[in-house]
Chains A and B, each alone.
Chain A
């Protein structure tokens, strides 16, 4: 009998992602947020989470995926990081799933760029693949400095 882990799952541009359930503080609906001029592109804004100011990161932009369809409101997955709570904006929330460790595999070598950096591993579920995000890296500032500065005018 192998060990299993619980993951909180969500969807992003049709992809199925998961983060360790213990890393997730809470999931909340879309909040009004304050944008931060001059900030790295991946930062969508700041939200007020019961008196705490939480940075919201647009995961689509973080993962360099196409932008969300207009009018589609993202959800906040608030994760705990070394630097306090950070919200990840995702398309849709999935279930919390418990998965056996033996279906886990390292991401294939063909992954490149930001995906290789942030996707820690893959669970081969029956019907689809669950991509596990490294939350600490995800909430970090992109390594390439150039990416941080390209702000739309």
Chain B
């Protein structure tokens, strides 16, 4: 792999050389043109400087003598002669040849240019001492090449062409060429070298083109050109249009039986896809461009913090769209800064924990599923979940009860809450968090996601997933209320389809909020029709329910749509300013049939449906519920069967969660039945044992138990019920007739007599210690 810098040098130098050719010829016509001369001087000077910097000594030597000559010309010490022009043009050719060699082999090649150097020096002579030092180092005057073995693409003459000796060159640039036998000691070394003959000027003109033509084939300078980004943007837009037109054409293919048309449109399809890919590539840049400045930053920061940190990078060549590269620059810097500042401990602390004194920051980038993943891993202190929770409690972001039931993952995501950033010292201990909300917002703005994993004492990994490009994205097309909507594939997790009866049973309600059990996890549901205030599908009860499982902010949620159509590549177009206030849409696109479809903004939609930032929202809704209860006797009740056919109800406000466990998950702690639940032990109480109902007969090991989780003061207990039926909102008047232990009374709900379960009594009966710490009046509430 050629070094990026060398490549750039080659491109630039080739451009410069082309200009040199022109300028020299122009100068020959008008030797007094100061401007031209100055330009030539600058160009040679640049090449000399760069080649010196890149340690191409030979190249530097040639450029150096040419520069000397030019400087005298510029200063008026010498006047320009055709002889000088030839020599300088020969220099240009020599430089070009060496550049060609550098490109192929990485080195200027071992062809000898001492003759040329000598010639230039002589031309320069007559005033000061010729600057032989530069050439003396590597070119003995005798180093004439072996004629018979001359090769190289840049050689205009046939191998048998006579070779110019340095002397000949020096004596006469325009006429003589003398054959010279190679010195024996250089015979093998010179195998690939050839001194350019100094042809007469008029010959030079004709000799140059074939040479250039040949050299050009592989030249880096010809494989790259500089293009205005604006032009690329335009090209990208046009390809976007083409993709749309292609989609339109493809739509006709379904209705047509014309095989020629089908074949042609297939071809169009393939070519468009390829074109799209190629055009996208033009805007791609390796992520290394952004990373390059990180080592320095890490070093400086680490020194400032008194830490030892080594940075490792993997996948620098992973390419991303230019706009995305720009967009992730700041977040990345921020994350790395955080890792260095808060993540990695001081050497002493590290050694105490049995880790090497030197911390390691790993950056990794790779492609996966049409997205780019970037991982930033440090082997620092990790994040202390408890500290994060405590801080969240202090700031009132979550309640104690929520803290108790938060998973580690949820806890980590607290760090991304805006309130959690800046100045608060939480994160100094826990690892990071300064401005993480900003990082997250920025990444999400370009359609990416951020995820955090941390192991206390072992380190933290931050994973960023970003789309390759912004302009064309794969999307799922859905229909709701007769309109089509595009959902960016990035947010899509899976699709669930519930048929008829199944649909009605499996969508449950917690206080009116629909949920679906997706592999044991409760998935909050949002109905697209309702969220967007568009008309509901008629007969929605009988038909199948399509759930698009999406991820917003790390929280999965289900979006119920009327129909799921297909995935398609769509071109994202922004919405006008009149629609900026509508947060549910990220843009619009033109579909195959030419109609416009809106692109859903999954995050905006989730926020609208209150399925994200659930931590905060839940706190609020709970408060609302309590206020509501106080003001009104209407209560939301959870209806269930305790055993065979006995309808029971408990106030929904007492329900923390509804869960399902297989019988096989039940373990025993003493006589108490328990299950492991969210990292805790949840005692189970079988309601049927405590209330007078007909018990179910022996249960199958695999059968799922329905469990109502009840929490009080951070303690939880699971009430095992027969079946959860419904949630109703009813004004209840308790007809007190205590028919037994554990029953509070009976009410009529939905025209049926329903027993109200006395939850406290049941729990007290099963576990007298449960309420030990809770005042009696509270328990009776």
Seen from chain A, the residues whose Cβ lies within 8 Å of a Cβ on chain B are 32-40, 42-43, 45-48, 51-55, 57, 83-84, 86, 139-141, 148, 151-153
Whether A34 lies near B578 (C-beta < 8 A) is no
Q: How far is the CB of B637 from chain A (nearest CB, A)?
A: 28
Whether B595 lies near A140 (C-beta < 8 A) is no
Chain A residues, Cβ within 8 Å of B577: 83, 140-141
For chain B, residues 567 to 609, give those with C-beta under 8 angstroms from any C-beta of chain A: 573, 575-582, 584-585, 588-590, 594-598
Chain B residues, Cβ within 8 Å of A53: 573, 575, 588-590, 596
Chain B residues, Cβ within 8 Å of A151: 533
Q: How far is the CB of B50 from chain A (nearest CB, A)?
A: 45
> A34-B596, A37-B532 are known contacts. Are A51 and B244 too (CB-CB below 8 A)?
yes
**Ranked 4 nearest A-B pairs via Cβ:** A37-B532, A55-B576, A34-B596, A46-B596
Chain B residues, Cβ within 8 Å of A42: 578
Chain A residues, Cβ within 8 Å of B533: 37-38, 151-153
Question: How far does the alpha carbon of A128 sit from the alpha carbon of B752 in the complex, in Å?
Answer: 72
Chain A residues, Cβ within 8 Å of B585: 36
Whether A38 lies near B575 (C-beta < 8 A) is no
Chain A residues, Cβ within 8 Å of B582: 36, 38-39
Q: Apart from A37-B481, A38-B533, A53-B596, what are 6 other A-B pairs with CB-CB below 8 Å?
A: A32-B595, A40-B578, A48-B590, A53-B590, A55-B576, A86-B578
> A48-B595, A53-B573 are known contacts. Are A38 and B532 too (CB-CB below 8 A)?
yes
> A46-B596, A53-B588 are known contacts. Are A37 and B534 too (CB-CB below 8 A)?
yes
Question: How far does the alpha carbon of A37 sit from the alpha carbon of B528 in the complex, in Å?
Answer: 10
> A53-B596, A151-B533 are known contacts. Are A36 and B579 too (CB-CB below 8 A)?
yes
Whether B578 lies near A141 (C-beta < 8 A) is yes
| Interface membership of B317, Cβ < 8 A | no
Question: How far does the alpha carbon of A34 sit from the alpha carbon of B588 in the complex, in Å?
Answer: 10
Seen from chain B, the residues whose Cβ lies within 8 Å of a Cβ on chain A are 241, 244, 481, 483, 532-534, 573, 575-582, 584-585, 588-590, 594-598
Whether B579 lies near A39 (C-beta < 8 A) is yes
Tell me the nearest residue of chain A to B245, going by C-beta: A51
Tell me the nearest residue of chain A to B244, going by C-beta: A51
> A37-B533, A151-B533, A153-B533 are known contacts. Are A48 and B594 too (CB-CB below 8 A)?
yes
Chain A residues, Cβ within 8 Å of B590: 48, 51, 53
> A48-B590, A141-B581 are known contacts. Are A36 and B598 too (CB-CB below 8 A)?
yes
Q: How far is the CB of B288 from chain A (nearest CB, A)?
A: 36
Question: How far does the alpha carbon of A140 sit from the alpha carbon of B244 in the complex, in Å?
Answer: 29
Tell me the nearest residue of chain B to A83, going by C-beta: B577
Question: How far does the alpha carbon of A143 sit from the alpha carbon of B231 in the complex, in Å?
Answer: 38
Chain B residues, Cβ within 8 Å of A39: 578-579, 582
Chain A residues, Cβ within 8 Å of B532: 37-38
Q: How far is the CB of B751 from chain A (nearest CB, A)?
A: 30
Whether B576 lies near A84 (C-beta < 8 A) is yes
Question: How far does the alpha carbon of A52 sit from the alpha carbon of B533 in the complex, in Å?
Answer: 26
Whether B576 lies near A40 (C-beta < 8 A) is no
Whether A48 lies near B596 (C-beta < 8 A) is yes
Question: How far does the alpha carbon of A148 sit from the alpha carbon of B582 in the complex, in Å?
Answer: 10
> A36-B585, A37-B584 are known contacts. Are A55 and B241 too (CB-CB below 8 A)?
no
Q: How far is the CB of B236 from chain A (nearest CB, A)?
A: 14
Tell me the nearest residue of chain B to A42, going by C-beta: B578
Question: How far does the alpha carbon of A48 sit from the alpha carbon of B584 in the complex, in Å?
Answer: 20
Chain A residues, Cβ within 8 Å of B483: 34-35, 37
Tell me the nearest residue of chain A to B590, going by C-beta: A48
> A40-B581, A57-B578, A148-B581 are known contacts. Are A34 and B598 too (CB-CB below 8 A)?
yes
Q: Can you name 30 A-B pairs with beta carbons within 8 Å?
A: A34-B588, A34-B596, A34-B598, A36-B579, A37-B481, A37-B533, A37-B534, A38-B533, A39-B578, A39-B582, A40-B578, A40-B581, A43-B578, A45-B596, A46-B596, A46-B598, A48-B590, A48-B595, A51-B241, A51-B590, A53-B588, A53-B589, A53-B596, A55-B579, A83-B577, A86-B576, A86-B578, A139-B578, A141-B578, A141-B580
Chain B residues, Cβ within 8 Å of A84: 576
Chain A residues, Cβ within 8 Å of B595: 32, 34, 48
Chain B residues, Cβ within 8 Å of A34: 483, 588, 595-598
Question: How far does the alpha carbon of A84 sit from the alpha carbon of B580 in the complex, in Å?
Answer: 14
Chain A residues, Cβ within 8 Å of B579: 36, 39-40, 43, 55
Question: How far does the alpha carbon of A37 sit from the alpha carbon of B579 in the complex, in Å?
Answer: 10
Tell me the nearest residue of chain A to B480, going by C-beta: A37
Q: How far is the CB of A118 from chain B (nearest CB, A)?
A: 14
Whether A47 lies near B584 (C-beta < 8 A) is no
Tell me the nearest residue of chain A to B532, going by C-beta: A37
Chain B residues, Cβ within 8 Å of A141: 577-578, 580-581
Whether A46 lies near B588 (C-beta < 8 A) is yes
Question: How far does the alpha carbon of A51 sit from the alpha carbon of B595 in the complex, in Å?
Answer: 10
Interface centre among A34, A54, A55, A141 (most CB of B within 10 A): A34
Question: How far does the alpha carbon of A70 sit from the alpha carbon of B703 in the complex, in Å?
Answer: 59
Question: How far does the alpha carbon of A152 sit from the alpha carbon of B534 in the complex, in Å?
Answer: 9
Tell me the nearest residue of chain B to A38, going by C-beta: B582
Chain A residues, Cβ within 8 Å of B244: 51
B596 interface neighbour in A43, A47, A57, A152, Cβ under 8 Å = A47
Tell me the nearest residue of chain A to B580, going by C-beta: A141
Question: How far does the alpha carbon of A35 sit from the alpha carbon of B579 in the complex, in Å?
Answer: 12
Chain B residues, Cβ within 8 Å of A55: 575-576, 578-579
Question: How far does the alpha carbon of A28 sit from the alpha carbon of B241 in the complex, in Å?
Answer: 21
Chain B residues, Cβ within 8 Å of A35: 483
Chain B residues, Cβ within 8 Å of A139: 576, 578
Chain A residues, Cβ within 8 Å of B594: 48
Question: How far does the alpha carbon of A152 sit from the alpha carbon of B532 in the complex, in Å?
Answer: 11
Tell me the nearest residue of chain B to A40, going by C-beta: B578
Question: How far does the alpha carbon of A140 sit from the alpha carbon of B701 in the complex, in Å?
Answer: 65
Question: How far does the alpha carbon of A35 sit from the alpha carbon of B576 in the complex, in Å?
Answer: 14
Question: How far does the alpha carbon of A36 sit from the alpha carbon of B598 in the complex, in Å?
Answer: 8
Question: How far does the alpha carbon of A42 sit from the alpha carbon of B241 in the complex, in Å?
Answer: 29
Q: How far is the CB of B702 from chain A (nearest CB, A)?
A: 44
Question: How far does the alpha carbon of A36 sit from the alpha carbon of B534 in the complex, in Å?
Answer: 10
Chain B residues, Cβ within 8 Å of A37: 481, 483, 532-534, 584, 598
Chain B residues, Cβ within 8 Å of A51: 241, 244, 590
Question: How far does the alpha carbon of A140 sit from the alpha carbon of B577 in the complex, in Å?
Answer: 8
Q: How far is the CB of B457 from chain A (nearest CB, A)?
A: 48
Q: How far is the CB of A80 from chain B (nearest CB, A)?
A: 12
Tell me the nearest residue of chain B to A142, going by C-beta: B578
Q: How far is the CB of A90 from chain B (nearest CB, A)?
A: 17
Question: How far does the alpha carbon of A148 sit from the alpha carbon of B483 in the complex, in Å?
Answer: 22
Q: How far is the CB of B506 from chain A (nearest CB, A)?
A: 27
Question: How far does the alpha carbon of A39 sit from the alpha carbon of B595 in the complex, in Å?
Answer: 18
Question: How far does the alpha carbon of A54 sit from the alpha carbon of B578 in the complex, in Å?
Answer: 11
Q: How far is the CB of A150 from chain B (nearest CB, A)?
A: 11
Q: How far is the CB of A6 from chain B (nearest CB, A)?
A: 26
Question: How far does the alpha carbon of A151 sit from the alpha carbon of B581 in the complex, in Å?
Answer: 14
Q: How far is the CB of A94 from chain B (nearest CB, A)?
A: 25
Tell me the nearest residue of chain B to A50, going by C-beta: B241
Chain A residues, Cβ within 8 Å of B578: 39-40, 42-43, 55, 57, 86, 139-141
Q: How far is the CB of B565 from chain A (nearest CB, A)?
A: 15
Q: How far is the CB of A3 from chain B (nearest CB, A)?
A: 32
Chain A residues, Cβ within 8 Å of B597: 34
Chain B residues, Cβ within 8 Å of A48: 590, 594-596
Tell me the nearest residue of chain B to A43, going by C-beta: B578
Question: How far does the alpha carbon of A47 sit from the alpha carbon of B576 in the complex, in Å?
Answer: 12
Tell me the nearest residue of chain B to A84, going by C-beta: B576
Whether B596 lies near A83 (C-beta < 8 A) is no
Question: How far does the alpha carbon of A153 sit from the alpha carbon of B576 in the complex, in Å?
Answer: 24
Q: How far is the CB of B39 from chain A (nearest CB, A)?
A: 44
Q: How far is the CB of A56 from chain B (nearest CB, A)?
A: 10
Q: How far is the CB of B498 from chain A (nearest CB, A)?
A: 24
Question: How far does the alpha carbon of A48 sit from the alpha carbon of B241 in the complex, in Å?
Answer: 12
Q: How far is the CB of B219 from chain A (nearest CB, A)?
A: 39
Tell me the nearest residue of chain B to A54, going by C-beta: B576
Tell me the nearest residue of chain A to B608, going by C-beta: A38
Chain B residues, Cβ within 8 Å of A86: 576, 578
Question: How far does the alpha carbon of A118 sit from the alpha carbon of B277 in the complex, in Å?
Answer: 47
